[in-house]
Structure 1
Amino acid sequence: MISHRSMMESMKLYLQTYFPEYPIKLMTLHHDERLPTENTGGHVHVFISGQNSLTGEHDLRLSQIKRVNEFLIKRGDGADCLAESGRLYYIESSEVYSYLQQMFYEFINENLFNEKDLNAEFSPESERQSAKRKAMNKEAKLPKYQRPFNFYTRKIQWLQQQISVLNKQYQSITYNISIGEQTLAKLQTENSEIQKQNLDWQQKTSGLHKEYKQLLVKRDDICTDIEKGQEFIHEQASISEQLGVDVENKHAEVNKLNQAATAKHKQVIKLDDDISKKQALLARLKEITAQALQPLEQMISKIYMRFQTADSSKGKYYFNMVLEAFNDKLSPLIRDISIDIAKQTQDNYLESALKRKNQKLAENESDSGL
C-alpha cells in the first residue's frame, strides 16, 4: 500500500528534480467520494509558482518544453523535440503535456512504485475509447452534485449497507437472547427435579429413622427381658439345663439384633452424609445459576437498550448504565462476552470504554492477587 506521505514526498521530489527553480507554494492531499472509515482514493494537488526564482521571468511553459526536449533526447527521440521558443502548433501544445505525463510516469515508477512491485501505465486505447470512459469524461465536465456517482450517493450506499449489517446483528442478538431464555428455563427445570429428588431422599431418611427407633425400642425390650431372665436364673438355681439353652438362644438373638441395629445406624449416618452433600450441591447449583445468568442477563439487557437508543438523547443514559453495571462483580469471562456484544453492535464508543474499564479491573485484580 502506498502511503499518502510517500505520494506527497515523491511528487515533491519530481518537481524539485525537473523544475527546481519554481518554488512549491502549496501541496495538499485530496480524496474523492471517500467515507471517514476508508483510506483509498487519495491524490496530491500541487501549486507551484510560474515565476523563475533565478531570472525573475514567468517562463514556466518554456522550462516545461526544455525539460520535455531533454527527456526526448535522453530516450533517443531527439527528432521529436519541440521549438523552445514556445511558438507551437495546437497539436504540439498537446504533445507537451503528453510527454510531461510520460516523464512523470517514468519518474514515479522508478522512485516509488517499482520498489513496491507496482507499475503505472497509460490505459490502453480500447479502454480510453470505451463507452464507460466516454461517459466518465462527459460527467467530468458537470458539477459533482449533478453526477450519478458523488459523495452523497456513495454515503447513501454505505448507510444502506450498514443498515443491512445492523439488521443481521439485531437478528443474531435476538436469537442469542432466545437461546439464553431457553437455557434458563432448562436450568430451572433441572433445579425443580433436584429439589424433587431431595424431597424423596428426605422421605426415605425419615422412614429409616423411624425403623431405627423401632429397633432401639425392641432392643431395649429384649434387654429388659434378659435382665429379668438373669434375675430369675439367680433366684431359680435349680432350673433345668433346658432353661440355660433358652438363655443362650436369647443371647444369640440379642447379638443379631444388636448387629442389625448397628448396621441400620451406619446406613442412617451414610444417608445423612449423602443428604448433606446433595443439599450442598443444590445450594451450589442455585448459586452458580444466579451468578452465571443474572449478571449476563443484566448486561445483555443494558447493552440492548443502548443499541436501541445509540443515536437518541437516551443513548448517553444507557451508556452510563452499561458502564456502571460493568464492574468487578462480573467474572472476566462475562466481561469479555459483554465487550464482544458491544463490538458486534459496532458501538465503537461503548466498546472502547468497556475495554478501558476491563483493563483497569484486570490490573486491580492482579494487584489484589499480589
Structure 2
Amino acid sequence: MPQPGEPLGKLGFLTIGTFSPDDPRPGHEYLLAEIELAEELGFDSVWLRHRHLQHGVSSPVTLLAAASQRTSRIEFGTAVTPLGWENPLRYAEDLSTLDVLSGGRMNPGLSVGPPGHFDEVKASLYPDTADAEDFTYTRVSRLLSLLRGEPASTFSGTQGIEVFSDHVQPHSPGLVDRVWYGAASDRSAIWAGEQGLNLLTSSVVRVGEDEEPDFAAIQSRTIRAYRGALADDRPGRVSQGLVVIPTDTATAEQKAKYTAYVEGRTPRTSSPQGPGRLLFARDILGTSEEVAEALYAHAAFREVSEVVFALPFGFEHEDYVQILTDMATRLGPALGWSRAA
C-alpha cells in the first residue's frame, strides 16, 4: 500500500503501438525501440494491448518475441488478450514458445467475452462454430490446464520417424503462475482470486445501477474483493494501469498536445458510459511531483505495489521517449521506486 515514503515495488508501462496502414513497419520498429529504451531506463515490465483490425499491435506475442531477442531483463505482458479471438491450444503454444525464447519473462494477461463487433467479424473468425463457441471463464480454464502441461491429446508416442507429445510443446514450467486476469468488476476479480490468478486493474471500472460513480473507491473495493477470494497459499499480485503523463522535460508544444488529449477524454470520466455502465479514470497529467501527489491521493493506488502506466494513444515516437524517460528518471523515484539492475 504505497504511502509517501513507502516505495513502489514495480514500474511498468502499457502501449497499443501505432502504425501507418500504408507503411506499417516504422511503427512496429519504433515500438521495439521503446521497449529497448525501457529496459535501459530500468523499467520492470512492458505490456501490449491487442488492437484487432485496427492500426495497433494485433499480435503482441509476435512483437514480444522480436523484443525478446533485443532485450535480456525486462518482463513482458499482455494487458489484455481477449481470449474470444484465440484458440486456447494454439495460444498456449505461442505463449510457451515466447516464454522459452525470453528466458521466462512472459506474463499473459487475459480477459473473456465475445470478440468486439462479433456479428461483423464472426463469419471470418468462426465461420462454422460461432454459435457454439464458449466465451466464458471456461476458455481461461482450458488455457490454464494446457499451460500446466495437462493432456491436449489422447495420443503420444512414435509414429514412423516422428515423436508426438500428449501436452503442449514446448512446455515452460512456471508460466502458468504468471498468468493475470483483467477485471473491471468485483465478480471478475473474485473469480480471478479463486483461480489463483494475478489481477490487472486498468483505467476502467463497472458501476452498479445504484452505485456512486467514484472510480477510486470502486477500484479499491474490487482489489480488496480479489484479495479476499485468494487462497491462503497464493500471494496474488495486483497491478494498477492508469493513464499517466509526466511533463517534466516536455516541450511547450508537447505539453499543449498532452493537455488537449486529456481534455478531450475528460467528459467520459464524470458518469458511467454505455449499457455496460463503464466509468473511465481521469488521465493524470503534470510534473512528476504533481502526478505522484495525485496517485498518493488515489484510494486504489494505495492498495497496490505495482503499476503498469498506460501510454496515451496516437502520439509520436519522440513523445513516448520523453514520457518513458520522465517516468523512469523522475516519476518513479518520486514514488520511491528503484530502477532494476
Find the structure with the greater CA-based Rg: 1
Normalised by the length of structure 1, the TM-score is 0.20
TM-score (norm 2): 0.21
Structure with greater contact order relative to length (CA < 8 Å, sep ≥ 6): 2
Q: Which has the higher helix share?
A: 1
The structure carrying a bigger strand percent of its residues is 2
